[in-house]
Amino acid sequence: MSEATGPSSISDFHESLRSRSTTVEQVVSSYLERMALSRSLCAYLSEFAGQSLERARELDECLSREGLDRLLERSPLFGVPVAIKDNIHVRGERTTCASRFLENYRAPFDATCVARLRDSGAVFLGKTNLDEFAMGGSGENSAFGPTAHPLQKERVPGGSSSGSAVAVAADLALAALGSDTGGSIRLPASFCGIAGLKPTYGRVSRFGLVAFGSSLDQVGPMARNVSDLAGIYRAIEGHDPRDATSARIAPSGSGPSLSSEGRPLRIGVPAEFFVEGLDPEVKSTIDRVLERLRASGATLVPLSLPNLVHSIPVYYVIATAEASSNLSRYDGVRFGVRSEAAMQAESLEAFYEEARALFGREVKRRILLGSFVLSAGYHDAYYRKACQVRRLIAEEFTRAFEQVDVIAGPVAPGTAFRRGALERSPLQMYLNDLYTIPANLAGLPALSVPIGADSTGLPIGLQLIGRPFDENGLLQAGLDVEALR
């Protein structure tokens, strides 16, 4: 491991600890130094320098007393430096959701996923940037400045988990947590050339995650490779009684993987994923990978999922309706900054208007749209109808998985676009989620794996969608794709 860069993987990091060629404190210090030199990327909104170094020293003391192998038995992520998206609570630290409205809010408790990482031995480096309240697909909508792409700063890194993706891709963290409501882990993972997993809805507790769309949100890991994804995922999965949507199902770490089923991997290829609008370089790269998988023994199964065409309108009715409901609590009374203008308001309506003026444009747009679709006379025409079509989409996936083990396709229509290119076209920006949204609507696990780059060097990711609660099989398929590189 070079002094200029961090370890290439969790196993590489642990091997360096085992050989005594480095310490947890030295590795954490090197990450903190790179973070200080890379602030122009705007990947982090807060840095935990003092706390992370103190934690690293404590872990080094444990290491000298007990030895690594014994520690890894109970703390499989021993010493691993991790970044946390700033809509996930870390006790005593700011949770801003990249919004001026929550600029000074400090979390009174750990999110369940954070507590589980802490118990697994992870070291937290800081909180990462995002589109405000996780509403955006580019990383441009943060109140504290847009996140820059790690390879070409004039490009977007994807969103909303922009800072987490950039932190991992730019070697400012070994792994990170993000959240995914409509592609917010997979899209930035694809744009930045790393791996990202959205688990099955209910597989990872949402307790301590600031809600955007409660029936869609899911916490998931981001890392440089699929093996590291699996390690972070297995640390955070499992039932949580504090989350009413948490599934009562055995952890996936105890279940079989596809490789144990004794038959070739069956990969579904939906015709609807390869239509007009998909960048030719993205399509050709995916085609090459699928052909190589077929040559290595996998079976490619053509599929048709005709209801996917409705995914965008269905998502933007359901997600905005839930956002409107969830964000109603941010009123300057219970939560949020109470501005001087709000304090001087002469009526309650004026107070709310002034208090909520701190929301960014994209957040206001989604709240207004959601309030409209839930309003009297429109609920059945929009929200109820969207929920009915959502069920049709989920049922199509259920039928498809009777024939295949995973479904493959693009993560996005193209590679990372230039900053500001879609600023005047919200609809075009929303269409960038075309391929990622269906997995959220159906509650399915989905994975982005880097598979190459376009002619300008910008990364391309392959999306794999799995059966409900079959993260093991999905991760195994991701390893198969990764092996082709």
User: Which tokens in the block code for residue 156?
Assistant: 């977007």
End-to-end CA distance of the chain: 22
For 34, the 3-state DSSP assignment is: helix
Judge whether 116 and 161 are in contact, CB under 8 Å: no
**Cα-based distances in Å from 290 to 285, 297, 300, 410, 459:** 9, 11, 8, 11, 17
What does the pLDDT read at residue 74?
95
168: CB partners within 8 A, 6+ apart: 83, 174, 175, 176, 192, 194, 222, 223, 224
User: Which tokens in the block code for residue 10?
Assistant: 């969790």
pLDDT digits (tens, 9 = 90+) for 132-191: 999 999 999 999 999 999 999 999 999 999 999 999 999 999 999 999 999 999 999 999
Whole-angstrom Cα distance, residue 181 to residue 463?
Answer: 16
Q: To the nearest 10°, the Cα dihedral for 26, 120, 112, 134?
A: 40
For 88, the 3-state DSSP assignment is: strand
pLDDT digits (tens, 9 = 90+) for 416-466: 999 999 887 887 888 889 999 999 999 999 999 999 999 999 999 999 999
For 273, the 3-state DSSP assignment is: helix
What is the pLDDT confidence band of residue 2, given thresholds at 50, 70 and 90?
very low
Q: In degrees rounded to 5, what are phi and psi of residue 47?
A: -125, 140
Is the model's pLDDT at 377 over the cut of 90? no
| DSSP assignments along 239-259, one per residue | --TT-TT------GGGS--GG
Query: Catalytic residue numbers?
Result: 85, 160, 184
Bridge partners of residue 238, in order along the sequence: none
Whole-angstrom Cα distance, residue 162 to residue 120?
Answer: 25
Q: What is the DSSP letter of 409?
A: E
CATH architecture observed for domain 10-254: Alpha-Beta Complex (3.90)
pLDDT digits (tens, 9 = 90+) for 241-293: 999 999 999 888 755 454 445 578 999 999 999 999 999 999 999 999 999 99
Domain chopping of the chain, boundaries? 10-254
Judge whether 230 and 475 are in contact, CB under 8 Å: yes
The alpha carbon of residue 483 and the mean position of all alpha carbons in its chain are separated, in whole angstroms, by: 23
